[in-house]
Amino acid sequence: MTVGPIAFLVPWILAALVVLPVLWWLLRAIPPSPLRRVFPGVRLLLGLQEKEVMPARTPWWLLALRIGALAAAILAFAQPVLNPREETGSGPLLVLLDGGWGDAPDWSARMSHVAGALNLARQDSRPAALLQLSDSPPAEPVLEMRSAADWADRLQGLTPAPWGPDRDSWAAWFEDLDGGFETIWLTDGVSDDGEARLADALLSHGPVKVVPPAGEVRALTPPRLEEGVLRVSALQVEALPGPVSVAAIGPDPNGIERVLGRGESEFASGSNRVDISIPMPVELRNRVSRIQLETGLSAAGVVLADDAVRRRKVGLLSGQASNEAQDLTDPLNYLRKALEPFAEVVEAPLNDMLNTAPDVLILADVGSVSAQEEQDLLDWLGDGGVLIRFAGPRLARSGEGQLERDPLLPVRLRAGGRSVGGAMSWGAPRKLRPFPEDGVFAGLPIPGDVDISAQVMAQPDPDLSQRVLAALEDGTPLVTGREEGDGLVVLFHVTASADWSNLPLSGLFVQMLERLTQSAGSRSIDEGAVEGLTWTPAQVLDGFGRLQQPTLVAGVPGEDLIGRNLSAEAPPGIYASGDQRVVLNVMGADAELAPLAGLHDGVTFAAMEQEGETRLAPWLLAAAVLLLAIDVLATLMVSGRFRNVLRTGRRAAAGIAVLALLAVSAPAEAQEILEDPAPTDPEVLYAANETVLAYVLTGNDRIDRISEAGLRGLSRALFTRTAIEPADPVGVDLETSELSVLPMLYWPVTEYQPDLSDEAYVKLNDYLRYGGLILFDTMDSDLARNFNGETPNGRALQRIALKLDIPPLAPIPEDHVLTRTFYLIQDFPGRWYNTPVWAEAAHDVSEVEGLPFRNLNDGVTPVVIGGNDWASAWAEAEDGRPLFPIGRGTSGARQREMAMRFGVNLVMHVMTGNYKSDQVHVPALLDRLGQ
Amino acid sequence: MRMADTAPLRGPDKPQGPVGLRRDAEKIGGALPPLLAEAEILAASVAMGEHGRRRAGPGENFWQYRQAVPGDPRSGVDWRRSGRSDYQFIREMEWETSQTVSLWVDHARSMDFRSENSPRTKWQRAALLALALVVLLTKAGERTSLMGTDATQPRSGTKQLNRVAMALGENPTGDRPEYGTPPSDRMVRGSRAVFFSDFLGDPEPMVPVLAHAADRGVKGCFVQVLDDIEETFPFDGRLIFESMGGGTEFETLRARSLQQEYREKLAERRARLDELARQLGWLVLHHRTGQSPRAALLWLYMATGARQL
């Protein structure tokens, strides 16, 4: 039975819906029973009449809730199905996968489609078969049918192959096959000219449904170097416009693989091929090991870079015996330095060097070579090698190429050379003429300081002008070149060392060598070299385009590599034979992708993504249970019992709520702290505009009040007695307040002092470093005498000080500047007295002869630490009355006065620094001291 | 006016040989000590701040010297102190007299009520307060009496304290009424009385007892001990309320709608109690079991010790 998009598998259960009205009537008839409560105040209730009456019948919404729950349950048992699949065919089912690299980008969608198809087949008990066209067809034309569940288990093990499907041979296999079946063909949409034949073959067995790929299938051709730029072509099947981007990947200097460069382009409408340039410096370009599509990756979307874009191998050979002591005269030294950034340098005897197949061979001042060597070199040149020779005394002396043309030299040379600009010669050293536009050096800038003072000369042969790659101002050839076979012979008419010219010292030298090196053609897939050898895979690509270690290490004949016969035996990847390596990519340089064509009209098409059918029964059952749960709560609420349930859970709920609040508020608080105090903060403005004494808010109200009263008293004393006229003191919260504007901080330390945040410590340390002073007061020196200093407040102070940047401390000595900044005092009493007060220890304890004063504490001590409870001694009420009793009678008043004097001295010390320790004042002070 | 500190034991309270001793020992070893201990702890918290009479009066202990004024008897002059100065000083003693305080702790069924969140039943709270008060009074040397029990006879001293504690610790026997009325014991003239009850029952039966008290010049206070939910009435829905004994039932269809009226009725009942107290010159303390007993005890101690009650 089907209603709209929903079908019921067990429709007869729907008949139970007729009981709903009966249930309605029943539920309405039976009210909930009342609850009995013991309550002593019942006497007071007697005679009361309630104004509103609880409905004796169940409220309608509760009824609806219950009926809804029951209806949901009934519907659930009727097994509704959303979007049921239409009936499919009967008989055996063949699921055909192309299974090549083209399947890789949307492999998971394919697998779920296949799983859906197999699941349906399982429900209909249809036998099924699953084939992957990228495999080779079996020898026997027998299609093995199994239960669909069997196949479903195997789906996890399937992977796309890194090559394409072989539709033609499969078509032949299907043509030989007997029996009828329905076919679902999941194709990658890439034509291999066998699809039409395959479709016909399949149609002869039964209906065929073709599922084209959901997305675009793309591929890359091998990279190539064009005008020094790395370039690849991106291919696509459907000629749709769209952006495409590639990434060049390779090891960085640390050997870690990373993206070295990116290229982007856009497919033009109607075109299925686009060139993408990947601009990158030579050094990076030489490192690129592969280039891949950034989206829709498959084996064909990855191209392994071969030597065409990789570092050139350069062989160096010098006619001069290497002499380590004379590096600067060794021509190879200059070449090495110039080549190493972009080329692989090989130094070996000539024979060994030729065996390593270098792209470029540089002979620096090598005179003559043996006939055999010459022949080898000529063979190598014929294969496209680039031979670069540098002149020098040996070459000039050997007479090579002077009488007849030497095949290893581009031009004939004249005997001897020429020297210009020397002590015994005419003229000045020669400069370079701009390079010819069509030459290999075209466009290279010529630095003005390159001078040529000696060179070998070319014979003025008729074809000399064609061979000049670079010339001097006077037209004398400096670099000449000649093609020899596929290769090139180049001669620098100067030395590779700085003997004849300073060219090797210039950047131009490096650029010229780079141009010449890059002009050496790719010698990688030299068919002749590959053929006849057996290559073993070093790294292979899987269907998804990932490089992996090969599981199959059987050798592959070179012919297969040249012929691009990709198969399980020869997957794409990197192959090695000896020390030679070749690369086998999925796509050739001139490959094209084309869509499927010529399919028979009888095939039907289906989309990859299919709306799966959904069983609604679990959801409906869950809804029924949920409704019943709501019903329980609602019933409790209606009958007044909900409150009890709530009450028991209230405490826990309150706890959770408090925690949640904390969690919410804590970050907000942190946020506030992190915000910079705005410069317009009135507190900061006040502290900056006025001279204020500040105290640290401890969180203990009493202590904070005492601190404030104490500093107020001290401020008044300063105002009346000294030039310092402080305003009312301020309390600072170390976590939030701005400290930099405060001259000093009074910090009463109690054992309840909370730990500060790291930011606060940073702030405090800055404050101490840049001239602030903190007066720590443990307020317990009356106890400290008995506790040997180990008071709880003292421990709290130690805890704080641990993270503060406090210099070494010492008890304030008698001659400390604090004892005479304003008053002459010897003691620092507060409410208590006779305990040592600590300040920064003297840096230099050497006593100046004959003077009682030492030049102490060039700056202000950053901390003063004591326990004399100074604030209590300073504390004054608003009317100037002292707040705390000190000592007894007149001696107490004296002590209070001394405490005040200490305060005055301390603030003076903060404000004036070591002014009073200046020697100028010594006589006056001595006089007053009565000495 | 000073009364003898040690009243001789007589009557049924005197231990009757080994049997009586054993009976008392068992009682002490039974339910008593926790209650007594708790009461003493509670009392100690009050006694810390409030100790002695702190005023001059007839007594043994020295209170203060004061300068003699005309009208002071010559025998009151302390010559030793006066000899040290030009003035004559009177040596005053601390006022020490013993009062009789009669307590009644209602133990009707309604007092056994305890709601879910209350720590105690109303009776337990009333008994605790009463015993703590007795502890304090005993320390101050007053005579106490627990009406309607074995400890009815006013006595002072630790023995009376134990007797009161035992009486409070006894499990109630027999058929108890739903709501209590104070027993019609004879009261000592001029004594003080403290009545602990929830006063939820009919107030009429209390009148004869109170009339007797008024006749004898007894001043005192009512302590109305209520459970929290008896004040707030947090009920809703269909409910049948029944009294503790099950004797009275009341069915409501929506309890919530009765809340306002119930509270009004409770306030009315309180106003009536207050009015009664005002007429008698008594004081009223409204105490809820959810509150701390300490404040109530302090109030009670001040109230029973006050000169002008």
What element of type H or E holds A302?
Answer: strand A302-304
Kindly give, in sequence order, each residue whose CB lies less than 8 Å from that of residue B29, ignoring residues fewer than 6 positions away: none
What pLDDT score was predicted for residue B208?
87
What pLDDT score was predicted for residue B29?
47
* Residue A158 to residue A132: CA distance in whole angstroms: 9
Using CB atoms, pick whichever of A34, A638, A643 lies closest to residue B240: A34
Is residue A635 within 8 angstroms of chain B, CB to CB? Answer: no
Instruction: Please give, rounded to a whole number of angstroms, the shortest distance from the CA of B254 to a CA of chain A.
Output: 5
What pLDDT score was predicted for residue A902?
92
Q: Please report, as a single letter, which amino acid is at residue A269.
A: S
What pLDDT score was predicted for residue A848?
44
Q: Sort A590 into a burial class: Cβ within 10 Å, 0-12 / 13-18 / 19+.
A: exposed
Q: Which of A163-167, A249-253, A850-854 has the highest mean pLDDT?
A: A163-167
Decide if pLDDT at A638 tops 80: no
- Collapsing DSSP to helix, strand or coil, A459 comes out as coil
Using CB atoms, pick whichever of B227, B244, B265 lies closest to residue A44: B265
Decide if pLDDT at B232 tops 60: yes
Q: Which of A559-568, A814-823, B27-36 has the highest mean pLDDT?
A: A814-823
If you average pLDDT over residues A700-705, what whole number do you get?
88
* Residue A399 to residue A411: CA distance in whole angstroms: 13
Decide if pLDDT at A394 tops 60: yes
* Residue A844 to residue A855: CA distance in whole angstroms: 8
Report the residue of B252, B260, B264, B272 to disrupt the A interface, i.e. the one with the largest count of A CBs within 10 Å: B252
Contact yes or no for A781/A868 (Cβ under 8 A) = yes
Beta carbons of A42 and B269 less than 8 Å apart: no
If you average pLDDT over residues A91-119, what whole number do you get?
85
Instruction: Please give, rounded to a whole number of angstroms, the shortest distance from the CA of B286 to a CA of chain A.
Output: 15
Is residue A59 within 8 angstroms of chain B, CB to CB? Answer: no
If you average pLDDT over residues A678-694, what whole number do you get?
76
The 3-state secondary structure of A776-838, one letter per residue: EECCCHHHHHHHCCCCHHHHHHHHHHCCCCCCCEEECCCCCHHHCCCCCCCCCCCCCCCCCCE
Helix residue ranges per DSSP H, A423-575:
464-467, 507-519, 527-530, 558-563
Decide if pLDDT at A323 tops 80: no
If you average pLDDT over residues A466-479, what whole number do you get?
87
Kindly list the structural domains of chain B, giving each domain's residue range(s) and its CATH number in brackets, ordered by start: 20-50+97-305 (3.40.50), 62-93 (no CATH)
Q: What is the DSSP secondary structure assignment for residue A219, as one 8-state letter? A: E
- pLDDT band of B22, cuts 50, 70, 90: low
Q: Which of A422-426, A465-469, A508-512, B4-8 is the least confident region? A: B4-8
Please, what is the average pLDDT of chain B? Answer: 78
Beta carbons of B241 and A37 less than 8 Å apart: yes
Chain B residues lying within 8 Å of A62, measured CB to CB: none
**Better-scored residue on pLDDT, B60 or A9:** A9
Q: Tell me the pLDDT tens digit for each residue of B89-136.
A: 888 776 656 678 889 998 888 888 888 888 888 888 898 888 888 888
**Better-scored residue on pLDDT, B182 or A532:** B182
Give CATH superfamily name and number for A682-929.
Domain of unknown function DUF4159 (3.40.50.12140)
Chain A residues lying within 8 Å of B248, measured CB to CB: 42-43, 46
| Chain A residue with Cα closest to B266 | A44
Beta carbons of A39 and B241 less than 8 Å apart: yes
What pLDDT score was predicted for residue B92?
78
If you average pLDDT over residues A478-497, what whole number do you get?
85
- How many other CB atoms are there within 10 angstroms of residue A554's CB atom? 10
Chain A residues lying within 8 Å of B256, measured CB to CB: 640
What pLDDT score was predicted for residue A230?
82
Q: Which of A424-433, A724-733, B46-55 has the highest mean pLDDT?
A: A724-733
Distance between alpha carbon A333 and the CA centroid of its chain, in Å? 40
* Residue B32 to residue B23: CA distance in whole angstroms: 13
- pLDDT band of A580, cuts 50, 70, 90: low
Residues 642-661 (A) with a CB less than 8 A from some CB of B: 643-644, 647
Q: For the whole model, what pTM was predicted?
A: 0.41
Beta carbons of B113 and A38 less than 8 Å apart: yes
What pLDDT score was predicted for residue B196?
92
What pLDDT score was predicted for residue A408?
84
Beta carbons of A640 and B256 less than 8 Å apart: yes
Contact yes or no for A811/A827 (Cβ under 8 A) = no
Chain B residues lying within 8 Å of A36, measured CB to CB: 239-240, 242
Is A682-929 in the same CATH topology as A93-213+598-611?
Answer: yes
Assigned token pair, A159: 């992977």
Chain B residues lying within 8 Å of A41, measured CB to CB: 200, 230, 233, 262, 266
Beta carbons of B230 and A52 less than 8 Å apart: no
If you average pLDDT over residues A808-828, what whole number do you get?
83
What is A93-213+598-611's CATH topology? Answer: Rossmann fold (3.40.50)
A-to-B residue pairs, Cβ atoms closer than 8 angstroms: 107
Decide if pLDDT at A497 tops 80: yes
What pLDDT score was predicted for residue A89?
67
Task: List the CATH code of the domain at A319-519.
Answer: 3.40.50.880
Instruction: Measure Cα distances from A247 to A244, A276, A293, A294 in Å.
Output: 10, 10, 6, 6
Beta carbons of B252 and A638 less than 8 Å apart: no
Chain B residues lying within 8 Å of A45, measured CB to CB: 241, 250, 252, 258, 262, 265
**Better-scored residue on pLDDT, A199 or B17:** A199
Instruction: Measure Cα distances from A265 to A230, A281, A532, B190 in Å.
Output: 14, 19, 40, 113
What pLDDT score was predicted for residue A375?
86
- The number of residues in chain A equals 931
Residue A477 has φ and ψ, to the nearest 5°, of -65, 135
Q: Which of A160-174, A796-810, B54-68 is the least confident region? A: B54-68
- pLDDT band of A658, cuts 50, 70, 90: low
What ranges do the domains of chain A cover? 1-32+53-84+613-640, 93-213+598-611, 319-519, 527-541+550-578, 682-929
Helix residue ranges per DSSP H, chain B:
17-29, 32-47, 79-82, 122-139, 158-169, 206-215, 228-232, 259-280, 293-305
Instruction: Please give, rounded to a whole number of angstroms, the shortest distance from the CA of B147 to a CA of chain A.
Output: 23
Instruction: Please give, rounded to a whole number of angstroms, the shortest distance from the CA of A34 to a CA of chain B.
Output: 5
- How many other CB atoms are there within 10 angstroms of residue A797's CB atom? 22
| Chain B residue with Cα closest to A51 | B257
Beta carbons of A54 and B234 less than 8 Å apart: no
* Residue A599 to residue A235: CA distance in whole angstroms: 22
Please, what is the average pLDDT of chain A? Answer: 79
If you average pLDDT over residues A17-34, what whole number do you get?
76
Q: Sort B289 into a burial class: Cβ within 10 Å, 0-12 / 13-18 / 19+.
A: buried
Beta carbons of B238 and A48 less than 8 Å apart: no
Q: Tell me the pLDDT tens digit for each residue of A127-142.
A: 888 888 888 888 887 8
* Residue B134 to residue B156: CA distance in whole angstroms: 9
What pLDDT score was predicted for residue A674?
41
Q: Tell me the pLDDT tens digit for each residue of A46-72.
A: 877 766 665 556 677 888 888 888 888
Report the residue of B236, B266, B272 to disrupt the A interface, i.e. the one with the largest count of A CBs within 10 Å: B236
What pLDDT score was predicted for residue A900?
92
> Which candidate, A735, A738, A803, A801, places its Cα nearest to that of A774?
A801
Is residue A636 within 8 angstroms of chain B, CB to CB? Answer: no
Instruction: Please give, rounded to a whole number of angstroms, the shortest distance from the CA of A16 to a CA of chain B.
Output: 34
Q: Tell me the pLDDT tens digit for each residue of B233-270.
A: 888 777 888 888 878 888 887 788 888 888 998 999 89
Chain B residues lying within 8 Å of A38, measured CB to CB: 113, 241-244
Q: Tell me the percentage of chain B whose pLDDT exceeds 90.
A: 5
Chain B residues lying within 8 Å of A638, measured CB to CB: 237
Report the residue of B241, B254, B270 to disrupt the A interface, i.e. the one with the largest count of A CBs within 10 Å: B241
Q: What is the ipTM of this complex?
A: 0.70
If you average pLDDT over residues A169-185, what whole number do you get?
86
Contact yes or no for A63/A21 (Cβ under 8 A) = no
**Better-scored residue on pLDDT, A69 or A602:** A69
| Chain A residue with Cα closest to B235 | A640
- pLDDT band of B11, cuts 50, 70, 90: very low
- How many other CB atoms are there within 10 angstroms of residue A570's CB atom? 23
Nearest 10 degrees: Cα torsion A300, A302, A303, A304: -130
Q: Which of A465-479, A637-651, A726-740 is the least confident region? A: A637-651
Instruction: Measure Cα distances from A459 to A363, A613, A821, A929, B90 in Å.
Output: 21, 89, 97, 106, 150
What pLDDT score was predicted for residue A552?
65
Decide if pLDDT at A492 tops 80: yes
What pLDDT score was predicted for residue A668?
41
| Chain B residue with Cα closest to A640 | B237
What pLDDT score was predicted for residue A853?
45
- How many other CB atoms are there within 10 angstroms of residue A349's CB atom? 9
